Amino acid sequence: MKRQLILEDGNIFVGEGFGADKEMSGEVVFITGMTGYQETLSDPSYCGQIVTMTYPLIGNYGINRDDFESITPAINGFIVKEYEPEPSHWRMEESLDTLFKAKDIPGLAGIDTRKLTRLIREHGTRRGRICSLDVDANAVIEELKQTTFVRDQVHRVSTKEPYHAPGRGNRVVLVDYGMKHNILQELISRQCDVVVVPYNTSSEEILRLNPDGIMLSNGPGNPVDVQGAIETIKALIGKVPIFGICLGHQLIALACGATTSKLQFGHRGSNHPVRELSTGKIAITAQNHGYTVDNDSLKGTGLELTHIAINDGTVEGLKHVEHPVFCVQYHPEASPGPHDANHLFDEFMTLMETEKKVAVKA
């Protein structure tokens, strides 16, 4: 079944379709990870996007029940160089094609993904549409040019109701902006008593849960579009320890008065080097974001730069100089890996215990 990708700039890529026989538009992005395609396609941070895998062979180990980062994938399409229709792995339960048909997601294989990636790197992310060959390409291009990127992704992927993952340790309120399940798993593995709440939960409701700490999760889209979150975080800073990841990191920066901006093609992959400024140590990290905190906007915010990206010098970590608040742009819960930054969850545990001791003395 022939299918094509049409970009707003007029570039057209023709290949073989798999998954759902469906026309779908979205922001076309690329990810450089060599493995972990199941975690990628189920990461809520890709909501509304058409994801291009730069590793050439995808689908070879199939899909299993354990490696999902969300129950329902939020991507709008999936592009690969070579799709393997007959996967082989002892954990495999279904193929990528079967999953995409069940979840109504179109796939496209057999195109020049290197050319597509170079276009995005040189000119920025593109609006695109996966569709059949019998459409009017010129009409599609004009439609794409007039299309605006969706701005309600967090509303789409956040939990609609709070829920409880009981534990005997620290009470953590995890604000779900599009949470990867492995963030929750890392907290559970440390015996935390976790309450997951929707993105629009008020500061009063969060504090009423008597948390020892607050985790602000990852999520999709532009952080300034998350209505109400900035004011909520402002009200929480100084009350209890806060740890932010990815979108949570950007929202903390905005709440403290910094600004954010869109990257040309974003950071997406599991091989991004980050330097910790206090030690000089380099960690290889998993990342998935299209926006960054502006370094030159940090002055006067109370935030201190802690980590930078080696590749382009962008902000990768911050901490507050007065309050128990820290955050990183990358993913310390990294599933399937790497796990260089996993220790940050332990630092969050230590921060909560330290603040509880301070509170007792006071």
**Spatial contact of 332 and 320, defined as CB atoms under 8 Å apart:** no
DSSP 225: G
Classify residue 160 by burial, with Cβ atoms within 10 Å: 0-12, 13-18, 19+.
exposed
Distance CA 183, CA 185 (A): 5
Question: Phi-psi bin for 106: left (phi > 0), alpha (psi -120 to 50), beta?
Answer: beta
Total Cβ atoms within 10 A of residue 28: 27
3-state secondary structure at position 247: helix
Taking the C-alpha atoms of residue 272 and residue 189, their distance in angstroms, rounded to an integer, is: 26
Single out the residue of 74, 59, 68 nearest to residue 109, CA to CA: 59
Q: Which of 21, 16, 65, 17 shows the shortest CA–CA distance to 42?
A: 65
Phi (first) and psi of residue 336, to 5 degrees: -85, -5
Determine which one of 155, 181, 320, 331 is catalytic.
331
Helix (H, G, I), strand (E, B) or coil at 329: coil
353 is catalytic: no
- Residue in 39, 186, 316, 333 annotated catalytic: 333
Measured in whole angstroms, the distance separating CA 311 from the mean position of its chain's CA atoms is 19
Q: Is 333 one of the annotated active-site residues of the chain?
A: yes
DSSP of 105-172: -EEEESS-HHHHHHHHHHH--EEEEEE-TTS-HHHHHHHHHHPPPPS-HHHHHS-SS-EEE--SS-EE
CA–CA distance, 258 with 252 (Å, rounded to integer)? 9
Whether residue 267 lies in the annotated active site: no
Place of tokens 């570039």: 11
User: Of the listed 131, 246, 256, 327, which one is catalytic?
Assistant: 246
Active site residues: 246, 331, 333
